[in-house]
């Protein structure tokens, strides 16, 4: 696997899950594989889990790690070609990327949707520049449209906790004061569809996701109806995707906050969220603290998904 930007790079999900459970049983099994190989992690946005779990994964594999926070200590980067650089950005990304590539063997990039230009976001302009100009294999640590390391960890978690072959999984929108990207729900939908679970998406009108990610999922606008009989509830906020409303917050209706009211109609569902989560906006204290909350094991599985991905990338370095 050269690059890892979506579920399509994984091919056979069953095989990837087998590898994940093999690594979970012995996370240092491939500790020689990354000897004298350097991972560079480049962050355009904040992170706690991705930063720590991906670094830990690289250490499991014996790699060296360099972490760069672009906004803390690096030169501010111009990302548009053709701009007269007389403003506050001293360096162009077209030089910065190959320079970064020259110091490492694999590059991870975190670059959220900027909500300035929908086309740029949905064409993954930043991530694709890394793929094109770094000369190195690249993986997404959440880009504009997807967060595949998160979705892979989510899939591992569901496989660990499910009690039937094809559980009912509900992705629910929940309120949040700020505009958040669609990357997590897009990606989660893509992986749930690939896993062929009984998958339902629920959100208020106006929050429709890009149809390429929704795929064959059922969309149910009535949240209570969607939750009926659910085995897993996955909460996430996202800003609007459609038309003129791209990147806008259309609602902060706390009726959509996941509470005992909705959980009581499920099949004693597990609660999931990628974190960071705003309590009592996305989910009540009671639900996130309940025995059915998987948020911590889910975050812990980020180390496993990242180890599988880096292992595969190292294997294809040759």
Q: Which does 48 bind (CB under 5 to 8 A by kind): ligand CP, ligand AN0, none?
A: ligand CP
Of 171-200, which residues contact ligand AN0 (CB under 6 A)? 180-181, 183-184
Q: Which residue from 60, 135, 51 is spatially nearest to 99, judged by alpha carbons? A: 135
Instruction: In angstroms, give the least distance from the CB of 239 to ligand AN0.
Output: 9
Choose between 46 and 117: whose C-beta lies nearer to ligand AN0.
46
Q: Which residue from 164, 147, 148, 152 is spatially nearest to 232, judged by alpha carbons? A: 164
47 binds ligand CP (CB under 6 A): yes
Quote the CA–CA distance of 150 and 41 in Å, as a whole number: 16
Q: Look at the chain and count its residues.
A: 318
50 binds ligand CP (CB under 6 A): yes
Q: Which does 70 bind (CB under 5 to 8 A by kind): ligand CP, ligand AN0, none?
A: none
Cβ neighbors of 110 (< 8 A, separation 6 or more) are 41, 42, 43, 44, 45, 47, 50, 140, 141, 142, 143
The kind and range of the H/E element at 67 are strand 64-69
**For 110-133, b where at least 16 C-beta lie within 10 A, e where not — what string?**
bbbbbbeebebbbebbbbebbbeb
276 binds ligand AN0 (CB under 6 A): yes
> DSSP letters of 235-261?
EE-----SGGGTT------GGGSB-HH
Applying CB under 6 A, among 127, 274, 282, 309 the residue interacting with ligand CP is 274
Classified as helix, coil or strand, 305 is: helix
41 binds ligand AN0 (CB under 6 A): no
Of 213-272, which residues contact ligand CP (CB under 6 A)? none
Choose between 184 and 240: whose C-beta lies nearer to ligand AN0.
184
Q: Among all residues, whose Cβ is closest to ligand AN0?
A: 180
239 binds ligand AN0 (CB under 6 A): no
Residues within the interface to ligand CP (CB under 6 A): 47-50, 142, 150, 274-276
Q: Which residues bind ligand AN0 (CB under 6 A)?
A: 142, 180-181, 183-184, 274, 276
């Amino acid at each position: 696997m050269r690059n890892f930007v979506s579920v399509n790079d994984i091919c056979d999900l069953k095989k990837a899950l087998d590898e994940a459970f093999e690594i979970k049983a012995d996370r240092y099994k491939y500790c020689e594989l990354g000897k004298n190989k350097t991972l560079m992690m480049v962050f355009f946005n904040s992170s706690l889990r991705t930063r720590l779990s991906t670094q830990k994964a690289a250490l499991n594999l014996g790699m060296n790690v360099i972490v760069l926070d672009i906004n803390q200590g690096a030169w501010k980067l111009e990302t548009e070609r053709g701009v007269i650089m007389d403003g506050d950005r001293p360096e162009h990304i077209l030089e910065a990327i190959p320079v970064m590539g020259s110091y490492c063997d694999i590059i991870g990039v975190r670059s959220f949707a900027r909500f300035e230009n929908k086309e740029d976001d949905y064409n993954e302009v930043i991530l694709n520049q890394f793929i094109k100009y770094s000369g190195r294999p690249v993986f997404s640590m959440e880009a504009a449209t997807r967060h595949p390391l998160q979705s892979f960890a989510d899939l591992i978690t569901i496989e660990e906790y499910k009690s039937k072959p094809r559980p009912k999984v509900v992705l629910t929108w929940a309120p949040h004061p700020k505009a958040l990207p669609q990357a997590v729900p897009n990606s989660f939908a893509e992986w749930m569809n690939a896993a062929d679970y009984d998958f339902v998406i629920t959100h208020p009108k106006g929050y429709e996701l890009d149809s390429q990610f929704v795929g064959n999922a059922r969309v149910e606008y009535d949240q209570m109806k969607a939750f009926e009989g659910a085995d897993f509830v996955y909460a996430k906020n996202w800003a609007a995707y459609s038309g003129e409303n791209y990147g806008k917050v259309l609602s902060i209706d706390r009726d959509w906050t996941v509470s005992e009211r909705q959980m009581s109609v499920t099949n004693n569902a597990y609660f999931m969220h990628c974190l960071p989560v705003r309590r009592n906006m996305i989910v009540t204290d009671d639900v996130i603290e309940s025995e059915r909350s998987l948020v911590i094991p889910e975050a812990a599985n980020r180390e496993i998904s990242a180890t599988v991905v880096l292992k595969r990338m190292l294997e294809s370095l040759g």
